Structure 1
């Protein structure tokens, strides 16, 4: 009887919530496909993959009309691996868990886990391959997929095509404004820290949208748990700018990004002394990244994209160039097929891979028990990748 009573109270609570909200929406998407990946330290891979075009997720979002042009808003969103059902992004609502207020004249304010809404992820707009597996984050080892918790965000209204956004992510550490309070409990700020500790993060974005042009600039900082800029691919300063231009069925992309990590050291990269190749003077403290691309709408159902990305790391860490070709075919408004090819060429002291930093972080392919420590290519070697799959949205 007690259990029945508890369930009844919960049902009444949810009914009250549903009545109070102007709208509550359950949404999501599922992406599963196949992948081929050559040039890895552990050989060639043919396998199944979740999220090649984009991470699978589900979420709940809502808005309540408060009157006078004001609304209360919220979002809870969870990333999932749809091959095995595992929760991703470090926690159940690791992608988003925030509440906010929106005003028609004055803009929007949010607080909570901004997660995958970390401001550098807005570089999506400048990516010819729209954050697919082989795209804008590949040659910077996932830096443009940064995440951050404990956040506050303000977005201005759009005036004459211009809009601004600012974010600030605190650490909740009484003993250090820039340093992490603990090693657990907040979203990480980089691909190797999801669900781990973060130092202070912040950023600002300016965008202009005209009838056929978009101009975008983003500056952000993600610090390590000690409050340092210690890894150019994880905890660093990033300045990014670019543009897109549309005419008819064509859309052109161009952009530039500079990464800086002045506190970088061998230990902050987890690299042992004497293991870097000849000609490398030290770990990278700066990376320059540029790209161009073109999209073409063949017909209402079919779209193709092509792009070239290039990155150069200082300290003798070499450069890499990635060539990509992708395509989508819409089966309906909610479901489409996709495919993408990528070829990544490294100079003699570079070993960037197609894993976006998650399984191929900076450093040599050191082995443990005969198994490679990561799947980066060997220095000076190339990789080829191909994906194909289907995504459906609900």
Structure 2
């Protein structure tokens, strides 16, 4: 490992010294405290990595090829900075791609787009900027899809409009939409976040004019069988929203519709008798709305507040989340942050404040023994608080 980092450092320094390319080592570290009540395993008080945003480090670079064309690349790793482990499944699980960019013709990338999966662009209309309690919470992490084996094209600025398209191949010669057998997933078990995915793809349109910004995203993420089998993991998503700025105030509004027409009890990993009275089946659709504001109280202090609501069909109930947050900049690179959230469920809903990995759809149950039982019981509420510090380099 030391030899590998020595080679990487030599590459960075050599590239800069010859002036043939611009190579940058960058990253951020986010650690904090968390309090989380209403969990099935009680309440949690502890340390946490990535409360405001995931910690990462990476290397990115450009090379001028002449004629206005540049070669570009990025390698990026997610980190748990409490124990030093990698996140996102592999060493460069967040990004490992190469491409070409031109001001007049746009940008093309191919490789592991990873955490750049097109749905993650939704942070632009998220009042809480993809913090722990944000638009992904009530949809159990659906917006955290990954895009490996991917192709992406982003248009140049077309006046106030930019367009982006993305397509993630599965690398499976036996099924265009399904996950490859090398994933080790047979496709017969429940589909969960962090597991194998089938094909993903989508399109995005962004309109920016003066103080107004509008965003629309259509995204498809399939399960290992190539189906839309779980509305919270493998589904179609249509999202639209926007922001508007009045001086120090920025307003947000958004809507998301999720659909999974192939959903079944098996694809969710539940049985009919495990669900509460009043639920007629697993959800095949969820409607999700939110609005919020950010207010720059002081050049160093920004406050945010937002309300999120989601409603699932087939009697699976609805949930509402109220959030309040703030950041204080200690410098251009370092900030303090805090966020509070209160989540209220209807009688047949048990959405939690988790990230979708530890609190998937279904009744409260221990996930893998040691990971705990973090979702609330049906009809119960949760309260969460995070506070920490983030530094970027």
TM category, shorter: over 0.9
Residue equivalent to 1:379: 378
Aligned equivalents of 1:11 and 1:360: distance in 2?
40
Task: Single out whichever of 173-182 and 106-115 deviates more from structure 2.
Answer: 173-182
Residues 5-24 of structure 1: matches in 2 within 5 Å?
A: 17-18=15-16, 19=18, 21-24=20-23
Aligned equivalents of 1:96 and 1:316: distance in 2?
39
Aligned equivalents of 1:393 and 1:14: distance in 2?
19
Query: What is the Cα deviation at residue 278 of structure 1?
Result: 0.2
Are the aligned partners of 2:191 and 2:229 in contact in 1 as well (CA < 8 Å)?
no
Aligned equivalents of 2:191 and 2:133: distance in 1?
15
TM-score by length of 1: 0.93
Aligned equivalents of 2:325 and 2:5: distance in 1?
49
Residue equivalent to 1:256: 255
Q: Secondary structure at the match of 1:267?
A: helix
Aligned residues: 386
Q: Secondary structure at the match of 2:23?
A: strand
Tell me: CA distance 1:155–1:369, structure 2 relative to 1, closer, same or farther (3 Å). closer
Residue equivalent to 2:365: 366
Residue 343 in structure 1 maps to residue 363 in structure 2: no
Aligned equivalents of 2:345 and 2:333: distance in 1?
38
Q: Secondary structure at the match of 2:119?
A: helix
Q: Secondary structure at the match of 2:261?
A: coil
Are the aligned partners of 2:235 and 2:259 in contact in 1 as well (CA < 8 Å)?
yes
Q: Secondary structure at the match of 2:325?
A: strand
Residue equivalent to 2:26: 27
Tell me: CA distance 1:43–1:223, structure 2 relative to 1, closer, same or farther (3 Å). same
Residue equivalent to 2:84: 85
Tell me: CA distance 1:308–1:369, structure 2 relative to 1, closer, same or farther (3 Å). closer
Are the aligned partners of 2:12 and 2:23 in contact in 1 as well (CA < 8 Å)?
no
TM-score by length of 2: 0.94
Are the aligned partners of 2:141 and 2:193 in contact in 1 as well (CA < 8 Å)?
no
Residues 297-376 of structure 1: matches in 2 within 5 Å?
A: 297-366=296-365, 374-376=373-375
Q: Secondary structure at the match of 1:122?
A: helix
Tell me: CA distance 1:9–1:370, structure 2 relative to 1, closer, same or farther (3 Å). closer
Aligned equivalents of 1:132 and 1:45: distance in 2?
18
Cα distance per residue 1:346-372 (max 9 Å; x no partner): 000000000021111100013599989
Q: Secondary structure at the match of 2:238?
A: strand
Aligned equivalents of 1:340 and 1:177: distance in 2?
42
Cα distance per residue 1:33-61 (max 9 Å; x no partner): 00000000000100000000000000000
Tell me: CA distance 1:105–1:368, structure 2 relative to 1, closer, same or farther (3 Å). closer
Query: What is the Cα deviation at residue 21 of structure 1?
Result: 3.8
Structure 1: gaps (5+ residues): none
Cα distance per residue 1:287-322 (max 9 Å; x no partner): 000000001001110000000000000010000000
Query: What is the Cα deviation at residue 146 of structure 1?
Result: 1.2
Query: What is the Cα deviation at residue 140 of structure 1?
Result: 0.4
Q: Secondary structure at the match of 1:291?
A: strand
Are the aligned partners of 2:191 and 2:267 in contact in 1 as well (CA < 8 Å)?
no
Are the aligned partners of 2:128 and 2:305 in contact in 1 as well (CA < 8 Å)?
yes
Q: Secondary structure at the match of 1:123?
A: helix
Aligned equivalents of 2:6 and 2:133: distance in 1?
49
Residue equivalent to 1:37: 36
Residue 146 in structure 1 maps to residue 145 in structure 2: yes
Structure 2: gaps (5+ residues): none
Q: Tell me how large the CA RMSD over aligned residues is.
A: 2.4
Aligned equivalents of 2:5 and 2:92: distance in 1?
24
Are the aligned partners of 1:229 and 1:236 in contact in 2 as well (CA < 8 Å)?
yes
Tell me: CA distance 1:8–1:352, structure 2 relative to 1, closer, same or farther (3 Å). closer
Residues 211-226 of structure 1: matches in 2 within 5 Å?
A: 211-226=210-225
